[in-house]
Chains A and B, each alone.
Chain A
Amino acid sequence: MLADAATPLVTLRGITRVFPPIAGGGQPIHALGPLDLDLRTGEFFAVVGPSGCGKSTLFELIAGLQQANDGTIAFEGKPITGKVPDGIGVVFQEDSCLPWRTVRGNIALGLRKSGLSRAEQETRIEHVLVLMNLVEFASHYPAQLSGGMRQRVCIARTLVMEPRLILLDEPFAALDQQTRLLMGEEVLRVWRSTSATVFLITHALDEAAMLSDRIAVMSARPGRILDIVETAWPRERDSRILEDERFGAISARLWRLLRDETIKAADAH
């Protein structure tokens, strides 16, 4: 499917999420919203915001893992109602590799209900193994791999289902800076080759600035969209754009928007 920047793939309207008080008293926690957002087909979209602003809640709402108290979320025009819709692939911040399955076994998990023949499944698995540079590790168990490699396996398990929307929740948070940059390049390469829309949650401003077409900046809790920054990067890009003077300007703008909110969030804790 070719990218069509005009068509929203996901629409959020008036989304609000309030968590009930924890057992034993306390106040309900207004985590998010009200919030409106459109994700355009084929774009790379990132969300940054201070700790506890509801980024992960927003992520889980779009993934169908949580339900909003108010408002509507639609994927390809169909409402998301507490169930992960077909066509959405999810990569979590935590290591979600299944340690008892090999790399190949982990990737194959996503194809159980694909309706593809065994031969077609094998073709798809081989394709993502190549795409994610995992061919020589196909028979390894996750414990034999580094943190970055395991995260690649999780991404491969998502890609094998050929999702139209890939949700990434701080997937490189546990990695060192150099590995994060390289993993970012890999995600960009995958994004270009699949033409899927990517929605990335991150706390790293440089990561958001390097990877994204648009970046939403969220306020401290209850999380709302303060602004959306357009990067205007070419589709063909990699970590070398860190040298571009516009990169510094984008990062600085993100920080300018976030600074007061981060102080507010820190004071609240």
Chain B
Amino acid sequence: MHTRWRLTLARVLILLAFTGILEILCAAGTIDPLTMQPPHRILLDLVHLLGSGSFNRAIARTLSNAMIATSMAIIVGVVAGSLIHRIRGLRDALDLLFSTWYAVPVLAFYPLLIVIFGLTNLPSIMIGFMQGVVAVIVTTLDGLDRVPRVLRKLARTQHMTTLETAWLITLPAAAPWLLGGAKLAVVFSIIGVVASEFLMAREGMGFEISYAYNNFDNARMYPLIVLVIVFSVTVNSLLLRWEARLARRRGLKP
């Protein structure tokens, strides 16, 4: 069997084994029904929940906010990273901030963001953006550091402007690192958006999970958690596939 298929099969078997153990523990009463429902029940609840359409608005809000936050983090992160890369002094000055950024509890800014933007989508989007943007800046800097010098010389022999050099040479050359940054941005932005909805939002999947949790409503809470996981894993898997395709094209091991 092809190695790739063997790996996929192994992953599915591990997932099934883990789910099976949970199913047995729930059926045996080792896990209290108030703590967690059996996996098959969660799956049925998820189908019912999606079929009823009662959470469509919350799902749409969270996913669209996460997508906006991710897109902003990627665009701003790549542009800022490219600019900072050109200014050595600025980079040296910001290095400490970047390396300690994830020690800062960004969620602590949520009340301030509500004061500034009100109870709209913007505070959630900003939290998601702030979580993701630094990862993109750092990976952009890393990627640009690794662009071979000969390609920059090539740009000069081709009479390229600064923008053309970035668009046609340096950013494509740094693409594998940028894609790594994009993957991190997706994860961090989703975490940021859902976590901020937990705190003070009035709608969204985070709010619904929190509401269900406070009301011991497992039939709603677990399916929504699974949905967030499925969304995050799906987007990351797609990016991974794209990354592997790029790596193969460049003769690198995916």
Interface residues of A (CB under 8 A from B): 63-65, 83-84, 86, 88-90, 92, 94-96, 98-100, 109-110, 112-113, 141-144
Q: Chain A interface secondary structure, helix, strand, loop or mixed?
A: loop
Q: How many residues from B make CB contacts under 8 Å with A? A: 19
Residue of B nearest to A95 (CB): B150
Chain B 148-192 interface 0/1 with A at a Cβ cutoff of 8 Å (1 = within):
101101101111000000001100110100000000000000000
Q: CA A65 – CA B66 in complex, angstroms?
A: 45
Q: Are A65 and B153 in contact (CB under 8 A)?
A: yes
Extra pairs beyond A84-B157, A100-B249, A109-B168 (7, CB < 8 Å) = A90-B154, A94-B150, A98-B173, A99-B249, A100-B172, A142-B251, A143-B252
Q: Counting CB contacts under 8 A, is B250 at the interface?
A: yes
Q: Does B22 contact A (CB under 8 A)?
A: no
B residues 114-146 in Cβ contact with A at 8 Å: none
Contact A100 B250 (CB under 8 A): yes
- Are the C-beta atoms of A98 and B249 separated by less than 8 Å? no
Tell whether, in the assembled complex, residue B148 and residue A143 are in contact, meaning their CB atoms are under 8 Å apart.
Answer: no
Q: Quick one: which of B150, B168, B249 contacts A92, CB cutoff 8 A?
A: B150
| Pairwise interchain contact B249-A112, C-beta atoms closer than 8 A | no
* CB < 8 Å neighbour of A94 from B148, B156, B168: B148
Q: In this assembly, does B246 line the interface, its C-beta being within 8 Å of a C-beta of chain A?
A: yes
Give complex CA distance A142, B249 in Å.
Answer: 8
Alpha-carbon separation in the docked complex, A94 to B149 (Å): 10
Whether the pair A141, B150 counts as a contact (CB closer than 8 A) is no
Q: A99 with B250: in contact, given A92-B150, A109-B168 (CB under 8 Å)? A: yes
Q: Which B residues touch A95, using CB under 8 A?
A: 150
Give the nearest-CB partner of B246 in chain A.
Answer: A100
| List of A residues within 8 angstroms of B246 by Cβ | 100
Cβ-defined partner of A96 (8 Å) among B154, B168, B175, B250: B154
Residue in B154, B169, B252 whose Cβ sees the most chain A Cβ within 10 Å: B154
CA distance A12 to B169 in the complex (A): 32
Inter-subunit contact A141/B250 (CB<8 Å): yes
Knowing A100-B172, A100-B246, say if A65 contacts B156 (CB, 8 Å). yes
Nearest CB of A to B54, in Å: 46
Q: Which residues of chain A have C-beta atoms less than 8 A from B156's C-beta?
A: 64-65, 83-84
A-contact 0/1 string along B237-254, CB 8 Å cutoff: 000000000100111100
What separation, in Å, do the CA atoms of A262 and B251 have in the docked complex?
38
With a CB–CB cut-off of 8 A, which chain A residues contact B251? 99, 141-144
Give chain B nearest CB distance to A64 CB in angstroms: 8
**Chain B neighbourhood of A142, CB < 8 A:** 251
Contact across chains for B250 and A110 when beta carbons are under 8 A apart: no
Residue picked from B159, B168, B175, most chain A C-beta under 10 Å? B159
- Whether A96 touches B150, Cβ cut-off 8 Å, given contacts A109-B158, A109-B168, A112-B158, is yes
Docked Cα-Cα span, A98 to B151, in Å, equals 8
**In the bound complex, do residue A98 and residue B169 qualify as a contact, i.e. CB atoms below 8 Å apart?**
yes
